[in-house]
Amino acid sequence: MKLEKHICEDCGAEFEAGARAHFCPECRRKRNCESSRRYMDRKRKERALQPPHPTKLSILRQQRSISKEKEHKPKKVKLLKRMKKSVCEDCGKEFIASPGARYCPDCRRKRMQSNTKAIRRCTICGKEFVGGPRSLYCKECGIKKRRERWRHYMERRKAGASIVLGETVRTCEACGKPFVMIASNQKYCPECIDKMNP
């Protein structure tokens, strides 16, 4: 980059910089600080004018206050746009939560503490079921999947594609002599292995 001599428009001092420079480094630094300060002040004023957005903690407090109230005196609660009233499937209590929630916070906590099993969705049929953290299929689809895997394995075994230790015969890559496999990744016959690893 070619450096040229310029005169600062703020302080009038001479300085060297690129072709488009108008201010010396010190004045540029001051101007950047001032502009960022003005930007932050503007943002603070905008935030002060906006209504406070409800946090998760305030929503939970709202839910607890609803659950503590007497049932014959229901309190009117302003619902958030994304939140809706739901009925707990365990205890039947009304609570405010996201549209997909099925249990109130108390029942959800009890369920999570009791075990790792939760409501999962089957990746094949889409049916909901209770399963562990790694379960992908419901009971019926799991049985079908296991049968399919077993059938696939038996087809490979009949075709001779799968390895059965002590039965599968392979030719040695070093000498070309046939040998019975003892390990799944065995490439050489026992004699050649002895020669290679004395």
Same domain, residue pair 178 and 192: yes
Q: How many CA atoms lie within 13 A of 25 on its CB side?
A: 4
Claim: this prediction has a pTM higher than 0.75: no
Q: How far apart are CA 86 and CA 44, in angstroms?
A: 37
Residue 94 phi/psi, 5° resolution?
-80, 140
Same domain, residue pair 132 and 182: no
Q: How many domains does the chain have?
A: 4
Same domain, residue pair 31 and 66: no
Q: How many CA atoms lie within 13 A of 121 on its CB side?
A: 2
- Helix count and strand count (H, E) for the chain: 5, 8
Q: What is the pLDDT of residues 62-114, one digit of tens each?
A: 767 666 555 545 454 444 456 778 888 888 888 888 777 888 888 887 877 67
Same domain, residue pair 170 and 152: no
Cβ 192 vs Cβ 181: under 8 Å? no
Same domain, residue pair 96 and 59: yes
Same domain, residue pair 104 and 143: no
Give the domain range for residue 150. 119-162
Cβ 96 vs Cβ 60: under 8 Å? no
